[in-house]
Structure 1
């Protein structure tokens, strides 16, 4: 018996010795003055926290770009989960719950509440900030997508994590808060972490007078009752639901377009659906605007301007032309709504395509900056660097002959019609990808039949106005990407030519229909589908190349891969262009930029990085005193295969 007691005492001693130390409350003198959230706390959170805590992939879904986000707190439920077998309920701030109590029911916990009061505070926020001050060194690796972080729900969990990772206090991988910065946050926390009062909150969310006038004008237009306006507005909304809308005013404030159960002039009652084309569940919805009062961050900032010129253009494209059918409203059948070629078939495709081209920088940016855009989920279907151009509407056969798209509408179906709960097995059957391949081949054959002489430069859209973006550059960096108007960098290994059916499918598959809260199967299906859309875009560019070189160019982008496995289907068209060099791809793009694109767009080659076919790389300058000399040096070291350090010299080193 005494041996059992002794053994138990030893085990208890070991357990006590190994137990995680608790985090004591942080001692902080209560400030004698009020710490103001808007004037003191928010600017500091914007400066030190919002860059990470402001998007879908905010750690623990803790968003610190607004008081509502800080008050909502954090959750253990990850938005990006590549192994999710069932879709999760969406947790979009300002959309899927409207109060702190509602967020608590959705498994969010506070990071600002303290169980002790007075000069003591043990909130998660103050503990993890204080820990960084005590352990300021950055040791080891700090990755932006690190998967060994914590979403501690209480200080006991946080203590265990920090014991294992003593250098992982916040800000993660960055210097600790300065004493005066910590004093502001800690003071705010010990005073109860209050937000703006009702009066100041009303100012935050209320549009300025000039914007209010514009809002009334646009809400009147967007909510007109006739079928033509109703279907036009539905199409616009499905493409603008992610936009940060700027009116033609000088306020520099942004708004969101949303669906409401109540008409303009009444308090908004938001329709919260996963997708913009989902059934709203009410007989009539109204399109309304609400002011964005959270901090604007680059990774979600996709600006779309609604001004008088845009109103005239929308009327010119959608309202004035005769439609293909007598205008009528359509319902929200799940499969039909997920296929814009069916849902909006009554609207002339010329109007739809021209609207997308007018705003193509924004359209491409939505799938680069939208929720799909993260790491392995979708971005790695893109090359690191490529240029995009577009088929001119006057030469797009799907625009000229809408019956072609109607004939193949079943092949234009996308995985999004299956909703958010697709199984991985069903995704691997490639049903929708096979449909896309069949459409791609039919499209290639259709163009061959109608353009037997080949495709010329006139098939590339040159832009209509100085503000247009007939050429775009896309850069990808594993889990982030960017889109830029014009062409940047040197000649990429691949380029895309995009027509209307391809552009619309890219948008609906990766933006309107993508559910970041969906299953692994849903996301895998779209990943595979986008693989095929990429092949299409690359293939349509190669249709302008000499027929004898197309296979070679495609193979150079897919080294070691049998092109049959990616379903590459080369057009039977000859080239209409008489190339004179051995680099037809370079010759093609230089003609497009120098002689074809509308000059008023001011699109030109990258002065530093682009190597013209007839211009050699310069040598290093002898001195570095002017901007041009530095640019010359950058040009010299940008030559492929040039080792940077071997070209450095000490002309300017004192």
Structure 2
């Protein structure tokens, strides 16, 4: 029976009082929400905090209070799902209102939102009305049930799903029937396998073992893995766990302790537990970390193979949060650093990608594309030189523990001066050490070479050296890596006030500068000033004078880097020397022999990549289409054999410098923007999608090369673009998820469409 007739029949039965079969939330409703709602309604930036990725989120409902408010003067109460309240009544006390309850003779709020969206369908694959604001910075009205009529009259296109192709007739019928049945909700509990339970029990025994050394190590590990989606190697690839502090020991139901930060005082006896993650996995918050017997043995070997002691486990408080180097000083620094290096991609993801979902407070301090390397522990003086470590540790404290707005400038100056005193100490100590060479760079596994791509207020991290040779490269030692992690992850409070967020941003600027300067030590001394001048152009020179300390322009490097461009020479040797560690070789963006495609492809795929490569690594001054493009475009290519490939086409915005918190658009250098093209989904937030057949790639590339203005680009989007109003939008959008699932199943999750543009 056609779905329209099914809908009419269901409504007729309802009007006659005939009881229809009960709709299952788990089997019928949540899959629809996952398909059509979760792409917008998860994480802290979900409109009205309505999280539809789980039954708990649907029952919690919506709130008028914003999580992202860069102007608030007081920190606000946290509203983390599963943590800060439990059950519908508790969330009502926190000013969340139901979207499922029928009230005052009116249908449930979600029913009226769906009907409003259904009554105003979008023209097929047409641009949205110009006056329809879809930006993530738009003002969300979040109407209460009694305010809906006014909302609907003012926002005729404000129904759900918002500004995108809506529900099918069958989906609408299912949700309507479920709502008429009272919208019963059930949570689908994750049931670990026997093998997973065995590993969970082993890790919980380890983490809760008695003893001062054991207690301190477990605390450090918890603070470094609390954010992770832990998976058991060899277990079910759909099962993930989260490390929490619980009032209850192993074997009993978990009762999580909801502190504001993971390093706050839990206030009671607690146990470390591995809690199955509930709800839909979404890509933007899905930062994975492997655990199992092999990893557990590695942890034991790292932390307990040497003979070290601790007299008493430190307490909690602002000073303990501000300086984890003091808090955990008893644990050998070598063990701490090596633990982070073993899975460096995870740690960089936590602060570059992160689960806060709107990260411009951090991302506007980094370039749009750069590479990250790590200093080998054997060449890290904080690890090897106890006297230096003792001098440096007090200077490594970080701001953000106090959020007095009136004292923001004083707090900032205090921590800036400490940091610069540390940099002076570091510069002088390293000047007396053996000269840096290739052995300075850690090469322990394929986490050693990372690429970072920023898209305005989000960013992504991948193993391997992707894209053109970047303008900047970071070399992170242990103090840099640990401070970045604590400043942007452990100590960062998304619910904090403007002072806390400003201190976080300002200090991260110093960390970035430290990583850049550390890399400069590898280049010839006489070349360093020119690179600094390039990285800190215009107003950046003022920032260098105001806030940064002096750079070592005298101590030589042990590397031989011939030619006029030492950085390019370094990059070339890096790619050659460490080719076996490069997880993602990239001949598309760095095409040197005329074959601009990956090895092992079929002829049709080679031809596609060869043609697409003409768009990569060219400045916008010579490829004008870049000026029209969003920052994360996906290109889906269909091949004659029925297969397809998805390429990310990332716009790398050039800046004169990234040293200031405000006025970023004033420092853009649009003529220097470039595109990186790579056959993966490299962003959690696609901005647009083109779909084309392999036979059309030559025409597509040719038209892209000819674009000179917005009108020319619109012709391309009209021909190949998948607009929000496309009848098959959801098929194409979720095919991006599917592609990740096929190639990297552990990393797969629903992508976010809040930033999908109206092109």
Structure 2 counterpart of 1:54 = 42
Question: What is the CA-CA distance between 1:384 and the residue it aligns to?
Answer: 0.7
Contact 1:85–1:423 (CA<8 Å) still a contact in 2? no
1:426–1:157 Cα change, 3 Å: farther
Q: Note the residue ranges of structure 2 that are not aligned, 5 or more in a row.
A: 1-9, 123-127, 627-696, 704-759
Is the counterpart of residue 385 in structure 1 residue 369 in structure 2? yes
Equivalenced residue count is: 603
2:143: which partner in 1? 152
For 1:430, which of 387, 403, 413 is the aligned residue?
413
Listed as ranges, the matches of 1:601-640 within 5 Å are 601-603=581-583, 605-612=585-592, 626-640=604-618
Which string of whole-angstrom CA distances, capped at 9 and with x for unpartnered residues, describes residues 594-620 of structure 1? Answer: 1146x2x343541201255xx57979x
By how many angstroms is 1:637 displaced?
A: 3.2
Which residue of 561, 565, 568 maps to 1:583? 565
Instruction: Quote the residue 1:357 is aligned against.
Output: 341
Work out whether residues 423 and 549 of structure 2, in 8 Å CA contact, stay in contact via their aligned partners in 1.
Answer: no
The CA distance in 1 between the partners of 2:408 and 2:206, in whole Å, is 46
Give the Cα separation in 2 of the matches to 1:273 and 1:618: 51
User: Pairwise mapping of residues 30-49 of structure 1 onto structure 2 (< 5 A)?
Assistant: 30=14, 32-49=20-37
CA contact (8 A) 1:372 1:510 kept: no
Which segment is superposed worse, 382-391 or 545-554? 545-554
Could you tell me how far apart the structure 1 residues matched to 2:328 and 2:320 are? Answer: 10
Task: Answer whether contact 2:43 2:357 (CA < 8 A) is retained.
Answer: no
Aligned to 1:13: none
Q: Over residues 139-189 of structure 1, what are the superposed CA-to-partner deviations in whole Å (9 max), with x where a residue is unaligned?
A: 2255341322221122x4232233222112111221121221111111111
With over 3 angstroms needed to count, the CA separation of the structure-2 counterparts of 1:263 and 1:627, relative to structure 1, is same
Contact 1:491–1:611 (CA under 8 A) maintained in structure 2: no
Q: What is the alpha-carbon distance in structure 2 between the residues aligned to residue 645 and residue 51 of structure 1?
A: 28
Is the alpha carbon distance of 1:378 and 1:652 closer, same or farther for their aligned partners in structure 2, counting shifts above 3 Å? closer
In the alignment, does 2:281 pair up with 1:281?
A: no
Q: Note if 1:336 corresponds to 2:320.
A: yes
Aligned to 2:277: 292
| 1:346 corresponds to | 330
- Does 1:211 find its partner at 2:164? no
Question: 1:79 deviation in Å?
Answer: 0.8
**Range with bigger deviation, 291-300 or 332-341:** 332-341
Secondary structure at the aligned position of 1:387 is classed as strand
Which of 255, 263, 283 is equivalent to 2:241?
Answer: 255
Say whether the 8 Å CA contact 2:193–2:235 is kept in structure 1: no
On the 8 A contact 1:46/1:65 being kept in 2, the answer is yes
Q: Please tell me whether Structure 1 or Structure 2 has the larger radius of gyration of its CA atoms.
A: 1
Q: Aligned equivalents of 2:700 and 2:448: distance in 1?
A: 43
Who is 1:441 aligned against?
A: 424
1:411-460, CA deviations, whole angstroms, 9 ceiling, x for partnerless residues? 21111332x56557347743222222221222112111223xx3111100
Cα distance in 1 for residues equivalent to 2:350 and 2:546? 29
User: Which residue number corresponds to residue 685 of structure 2?
Assistant: none
Which aligned pairs between 1:99-114 and structure 2 lie closer than 5 A? 99-114=87-102
Distance 1:421 1:372, change over 3 A: farther
Task: Name the CA shift for 1:421/1:304 in 2 (closer, same or farther; >3 Å).
Answer: farther
Measure, in 2, the Cα distance between the counterparts of 1:96 and 1:651. 51
1:629 Cα deviation from its structure 2 partner: 2.1
1:145–1:207 CA distance, 2 compared to 1 (3 A): same
Once the two structures are overlaid, the 10-residue window that deviates more, 45-54 or 422-431, is 422-431
Match of 1:472 among 428, 446, 450: 450
1:272 aligns with 2:258: yes
Are the structure 2 counterparts of residues 605 and 586 from structure 1 closer, same or farther at C-alpha, using a change threshold of 3 Å?
farther
Contact kept in structure 1, 2:463 and 2:582, CA below 8 Å: no
For 1:447 and 1:638, locate their aligned partners in 2 and report how far apart those are by CA, in whole Å: 39
Equivalent residue in structure 1 for 2:551, among 547, 566, 570? 570
> What is the alpha-carbon distance in structure 1 between the residues aligned to residue 409 and residue 13 of structure 2?
60
1:91 and 2:71 are equivalent in the alignment: no
Which one is further off, 511-520 or 332-341?
332-341
Contact 1:28 1:186 in 2 (8 A): no
- Larger displacement relative to structure 2 (541-550 or 66-75): 541-550
Tell whether 2:300 aligns with 1:322: no
Query: Separation in 1 of the partners of 2:219 and 2:472?
Result: 35
Correspondence for 1:545 among 518, 523, 529 = 523
Instruction: Work out the CA distance in 1 between the residues paired with 2:480 and 2:595.
Output: 37
- After TM superposition, the structure 1 stretch with the greater mean CA deviation from structure 2, 209-218 or 223-232, is 209-218
Shift of 1:261: 1.9
Corresponding residue SS for 1:381? coil
The aligned residue for residue 643 of structure 1 is 623
Counterpart CA distance in 2 for 1:177 and 1:430 is: 54
Does residue 234 in structure 1 map to residue 222 in structure 2? Answer: no
Secondary structure at the counterpart of residue 416 of structure 1: coil
Change beyond 3 A, Cα 1:604–1:573: farther
2:133 and 2:467 map into 1 onto residues whose CA distance is 29
Alignment of 1:117-196 (within 5 A): 122-137=107-122, 138-140=128-130, 141-154=132-145, 156-196=146-186
Q: What is the Cα-based RMSD across aligned positions, in Å?
A: 2.6
Relative distance call for 1:602 and 1:491 in structure 2 (3 A) is closer
The answer as to 2:584 corresponding to 1:594 is: no
Question: Residues of 1 paired with 2:72 and 2:625: CA distance?
Answer: 46
Q: Secondary structure at the match of 1:321?
A: coil
Segments of 5+ residues of structure 1 without an aligned counterpart are 1-25
The 3-state SS of whatever aligns with 1:204 is coil
Residues 1:459 and 2:440 aligned together:
yes
Distance in 2, Cα, partners of 1:266 & 1:639: 56
1:15 match: none
Q: Is the 8 A contact 1:75 1:151 kept in 2?
A: yes
User: 2:203 aligns to what SS in structure 1?
Assistant: helix
